[in-house]
Amino acid sequence: MQTTEKPKGLAKIWREIKRPFRQLRQCVRQFVRDMVGYQDLSKEIHSFRSEFHKDLTGLIQRSISTAILHQKTFSRFKNIHQGQEIVLVATGPTAKDYMRIDNAIHIGVNRAFQIENIDLHYLFMQDYNVKYYIKEANRYQPDSCSKFYGMIEKWNIIIPDNDVIEANALRYRTDIDFIRQHFDECRFRCSIDSEPLGDFGSVVFSAMQFALWTNPRTIYLVGCDCSKGYFDGQTSDGSASHLVSHWFQLKEFARLYYPETEIISIHPVGLKGIFTEKKEAS
């Protein structure tokens, strides 16, 4: 039986498709100005049309495939933790000081599953820089921890399918692969069942968008230090202080779209002055 009802997420996809046209109009105006008096104008116009068609086709294909993928990955989790407490566990030095909150939902990123006395309910990893411990992650608590492995094709750091299969992980995309050709910047998104997750250079933001999607009462941030080093004493190549500005963006995003969810930073380092702060979760 046919229906005239629009497929879920179609309007959101179309909004994403239209966004580059603002930039396109500016490019066309500049193109016309540059081509005034140019002799081989028809050849340049043909080349321009070919590139635009290729770019637009790629955007449509990627947007639709992402919507289909994310319907399968995220739809079932919408509001699933409404009224509950969530602890988002990153791998900064202060994570070792976390005192477990009983009955809270724990979402970890990267090596957070190695932190003692924490049993994760969800684990996010999104690039193959995790290859040194991904086999251990694949086998981590297969019956009680849902795993989400991102698909970042840029820079050839996509997590291989064999690891996805071994972990029984769910796939997702971030907008970093859209940035190069289609979008002008990363954006946080509340409709993650049809749109790519905002990337911002860290898997912690993908996990945070998912946490908000589940509609908890409180989200505690643990180990989100935006500093150097890790919970187990290992050193890092550099500081994560460049992520602080994105946490300010996240705060405003959450205020607008998830006003009932309180965000609390435990033992804040780089996040001082952004969220409500506590030494211990309670």
The span from the first CA to the last CA of the chain, in angstroms, equals: 53
Which uninterrupted H or E stretch holds 88?
Answer: strand 85-89
**What's the CATH architecture for 65-278?**
Alpha-Beta Complex (3.90)
pLDDT given at position 168: 97
Other Cβ atoms less than 10 A from the Cβ of 25: the count is 10
pLDDT, tens digit, for every residue of 220-258?
999 999 999 999 989 888 888 999 999 999 999 999 999
Q: Is the pLDDT of residue 1 over 60?
A: no
pLDDT, tens digit, for every residue of 118-133?
999 999 999 888 889 9
Give 237's Cβ-side CA count (13 Å radius): 1
pLDDT given at position 111: 95
162/17: higher pLDDT: 162
Q: What is the DSSP letter of 125?
A: E
Mean pLDDT of 198-210: 95
pLDDT, tens digit, for every residue of 16-73?
555 655 566 666 666 666 655 555 556 666 665 666 656 667 678 888 999 999 999 9
What are the tokens at 179? 């940035």
Q: Among 26-30, 117-121, 170-174, 179-183, which stretch is predicted with the lowest mean pLDDT?
A: 179-183
Buried b (16+ CB within 10 A) or exposed e, 40-55: eeeeeeeeeeeeeeee
Domain regions of the chain by residue span:
65-278
Q: Rounded to whole angstroms, how far apart are CA atoms 65 and 33?
A: 37
Range 128-133, long-range pairs (CB < 8 A, 24+ positions): 128/157, 128/158, 128/159, 128/160, 129/157, 130/159
Q: Is the pLDDT of residue 262 over 60?
A: yes
Q: In what order do the strands lie in the sheet with 170-172?
A: 170-172, 146-150, 122-125, 105-109, 85-89, 218-222, 262-266, 276-278
pLDDT given at position 61: 81
Chain center to CA of 173: 7
265/156: higher pLDDT: 265
pLDDT given at position 152: 84
pLDDT, tens digit, for every residue of 61-93?
888 999 999 999 999 999 999 999 999 999 999
Which uninterrupted H or E stretch holds 254?
Answer: helix 244-257
Q: Are 140 and 120 in contact (CB under 8 A)?
A: yes
pLDDT given at position 78: 97
Mean pLDDT of 168-197: 85
Q: Is the dihedral of CA 161, 162, 168, 169 positive or negative?
A: negative
- Output phi, psi for 96, to 5 deg: -70, -15
Q: What is the DSSP letter of 114?
A: G
Query: Computed over its alpha carbons, how large is the radius of gyration of the chain?
Result: 21
pTM: predicted TM-score of the whole model, two decimal places: 0.81
